[in-house]
Amino acid sequence: MTSQSLINNETIMQVKSVLQKFQKGYIDKDIDNIDSYMNDLFIKDDKIITIGTSRSEWCIGLEECKGLIESDWKYWGNLVINYENAKINSEGNTAWFLTDCTISWDSEDDFDEWCEDLVADYFEEKGRYINYNQFSKMAMLNLKLALIIKSSQGNKGKNIPFPIRLSGTLIKTNDKWLINKLHFSVPMSRYPEWRVDNDNIDSLKYYNQIVQRMSKLSKEHNNQSCECIRELLNTLKENYLNKKLDILDTVKNLFAAYEDIYIVDPNEIPVAIGIEDIQKMIQIQREKWDDMELNIKEAITNIEGDTANIITNGMFKKCSTSDQLLQKEWNNIKKTLQKEGKGEDKLFQAQKQIAYALKELSFGKESMWEFRFDAMAVKENDTWKFHNIQFTYPSLYVLEGNYDMIPLLNHNVDEQ
């Protein structure tokens, strides 16, 4: 790999300034000023995309993006964006960023109401999980209640920080950087609890709706140049999880020759930056995912010069026997109880590991779940290669995440 990076210090400062203004909107929450806010920060394009944390939040166009932000200001908690330590890259008139955020709620009433809604999902007639089998519902509720109890201890449900990740792209128009894509996500400890399940008739409802919307938009806006991007996505689909292929060869075939290429995993682990960390990340992912279905034909591609932003979704599949799962978790629990740290924290971690194991057992030998895929590709010797790829899981609630608050970016940003 080359020693070069796609970094421009002037652009980094300018993008940070945009993110600071974006943050201010989430502090002020001035609904009356939202039109001015959108005009100042966002590109006026019907291809602009904002992906929220939940399964249904794929917002296409400026008005839908505005609707999501307005909803956040009205109903979400206090979002804090770590824009000063954001990882920012750029090429030509395109810039992209990745950063950690936290969200917290001020009032006990909001948290209490949220907990009541969570429990209602399992028992009410129109609950999200009402069609899951009884074992799955019991295991999932057990895990959820453990997380709620732990999260509320000592704080009475107030000012509890939850991890959020934010990434996005900006386009320079008339010498001004404007946002044209945002992607909010919640890092999770393990696999997401929303699965494709024959017992759950709604398990593919939002997924199929999003695929249809992507297909419509890609047909309207993707051009002939996007065919090369589809070839890159096909190579990713065929090679990325193929255990028979050498990981280093896979990285070299997929990624551009820059020292700061990176992969973002949906679990709460730091971003893998550089070829060595990326190899380790792919090894981890090959162990936890058996197969990947990626919607390539429907992918939305926005090409600007020698950069291409790619957004789509897909399905992961994992097969494992109950004995394999139990033995793995049993070993993990032993490590947890024997490691250094506070006894209270270790006991809760062990309890959570047992709850996760029971939840996974409830889904049976084969399990499938949806993911979102977000990537930036750049041209290298007239060939499209990835600069970064990001996998995220849609969540039903921020509570699905882990609260160890492991930073996504744990490197010195001055050394980007």
Beta bridge partner(s), residue 182? 50, 168
Q: CA-to-CA distance for 348 and 31, rounded, in angstroms?
A: 41
**DSSP string over 324-341:** HHHHHHHHHHHHHHHSSS
Instruction: Report the pLDDT value the prediction gives residue 416, as an integer from 0 to 100.
Output: 39
Q: Give me the pLDDT at residue 51, please.
A: 97
Distance CA 247, CA 239 (A): 9
Cα 111 to its chain centre, rounded Å, is 23
Residue 58's pLDDT band, with cuts at 50, 70 and 90, is very high
Model confidence pLDDT, tens digit, residues 294-341? 999 999 999 999 999 999 999 999 987 788 878 888 888 899 889 888
Dist. CA 37–CA 49, nearest whole Å: 17
Contact 182, 312 (CB under 8 A): no
Tokens encoding 174: 């008339």
Q: What's the chain's average pLDDT?
A: 87
Over residues 244-298, the pLDDT tens digits come to 999 999 999 999 999 999 999 999 899 999 999 999 999 999 999 999 999 999 9
Averaged pLDDT for residues 334-363 = 83
pTM comes to 0.87
| pLDDT band at 204; cut points 50, 70, 90 | confident
Q: What pLDDT does residue 153 have? A: 58
Q: How large a percentage of the chain has pLDDT more than 90?
A: 57
Tell me the per-residue pLDDT of 213-233, one tens digit each, with 9 for 90 and over.
999 998 887 776 789 999 999
pLDDT of residue 415: 40
Q: Which three-class secondary structure state does DSSP give residue 23?
A: helix
Return the top range by mean pLDDT from 28-37, 133-142, 389-398: 28-37
Q: Which structure tokens are listed for 264?
A: 């973002």
pLDDT at 59: 96
Mean pLDDT of the region 35-46: 95
Query: What are the DSSP E strand ranges found in 274-356?
Result: 291-294, 300-304, 307-319
The one-letter code for the residue type at 333 is I
Distance CA 315, CA 393 (A): 10
Identify which has the larger pLDDT, 329 or 158.
Answer: 329
